[in-house]
Amino acid sequence: MLQNAQLILTLADDDQTEVTNAQYRKFKPDYPDNDDKPVAKVNWNQAQAFCEHYGYRLPTEAEWEYAARAGSTGRWPFGEDESRLNDYAWYIQNAGDKTRPVGQKRANPWGLYDMVGNVWEWVADWYGPYSADPQTNLIGPATGSGRALRGGAFYFEPRFLRLANRAWDGPEFVSRDVGFRCARGPRRQP
C-alpha cells in the first residue's frame, strides 16, 4: 500500500469518472460505442495524448491510489465490508461481462466514481516494485517495459478489486477492459 501520498488527484470538473466514449469522441471523432460508457480499447499513448490535448495528464500511480482511497485504509474505498462492493463497483457479480455507464454506482468519499471495477485505468508511471519503506509522493521507475494499470475491471472477483491491486502492460496494449481518467496540476518529476 502506498503511504503518505500528499498530492490529491485533482480532476477536471467532468472527470469524476473515467473518460467516457462521448468525451473521447471529441478528440477522435470516429471512436465508436455508447456515449456514457468508459472509453476502452485505447493504449497508454492514446490516453496520454488525450489528456495532454486538453491540458491535463495521466495521474501517477501514487496519486491514483491516494484519490481512490479517499482517506480509507481498507481494501476498498468504503472500508472492509465486501458486501458493499455492489454499491460502488461494476464487477463480475453485477456487470454482465461488459462495461457499464460511468457514475451509476456510489462515489467514494471524495466524489470520485468507478475507482474500482468497470475498466482498468492507465496511470502515468512505469510498473515496478514498491519499496518496503513508507513513501511520500512516490514517483514510479524512470523506465520500464510496461505501464501501470489500476482499479480492476468489470469481470473481476472482489479480491482483485482491492485498492492496492496493480497490473501492467506495454504502452501499446489495447483491450476492451482498459481505459483511463485524467488529472490536472503540475507534473511530478523524479
Q: Among 25-39, 101-115, 134-148, which stretch is predicted with the lowest mean pLDDT? A: 134-148
Provide the mean pLDDT of the chain.
88
Residue 153 has what DSSP assignment? Answer: -
Query: d(Cα 23, Cα 149) in Å, to the nearest integer?
Result: 21
Instruction: Tell me if 78 sits within 8 A of 88, measured CB to CB.
Output: yes
**pLDDT value, residue 13:** 46
Side-chain half-sphere CA neighbours of 20 within 13 A: 16
Q: Which pLDDT band, with edges at 50, 70 and 90, does 186 fall under? A: low
Instruction: Please list the residues that pair with 122 across neighbouring strands.
Output: 149, 180
pLDDT higher than threshold 60 for residue 29: yes
Give the pLDDT band of residue 33 (cuts 50, 70, 90). confident
pLDDT recorded at residue 135: 67
Indicate whether 184 pLDDT > 70: yes
pLDDT at 179: 98
Lowest mean pLDDT among 12-16, 141-145, 177-181: 12-16
Burial of 135 (0-12, 13-18, 19+ CB in 10 A): middle
* CA nearest to 71, candidates 112, 114, 14: 112
Lowest-confidence pick of 46-50, 69-73, 97-101 = 69-73
Rounded CA separation 34/20 (Å): 9
Q: Where are the domains positioned within the chain?
A: 1-129+146-185
Q: What is the pLDDT at residue 140?
A: 77
Confidence of residue 6 (pLDDT cuts 50, 70, 90): very low
Higher local confidence (pLDDT), 10 or 67: 67
Q: Which three cell numbers stand for residue 29?
A: 471523432
List the alpha helices (DSSP H) in the chain.
Answer: 21-27, 44-53, 61-69, 85-88
Per-residue pLDDT of 51-90, as tens digits, reads: 999 999 999 999 999 999 999 999 999 999 999 999 999 9
Question: CATH number of the domain at 1-129+146-185, out of 3.90.1580.10, 3.90.650.10, 3.30.413.10, 1.20.120.1200?
Answer: 3.90.1580.10
Q: If we measure between CA atoms, which residue out of 165, 69, 81, 63 comes closest to residue 109?
A: 69
In this prediction, residue 136 has a pLDDT band, given cuts at 50, 70 and 90, of low
Note the pTM of the prediction, 2 decimals. 0.88
The grid coordinates listed for 35 are 456515449
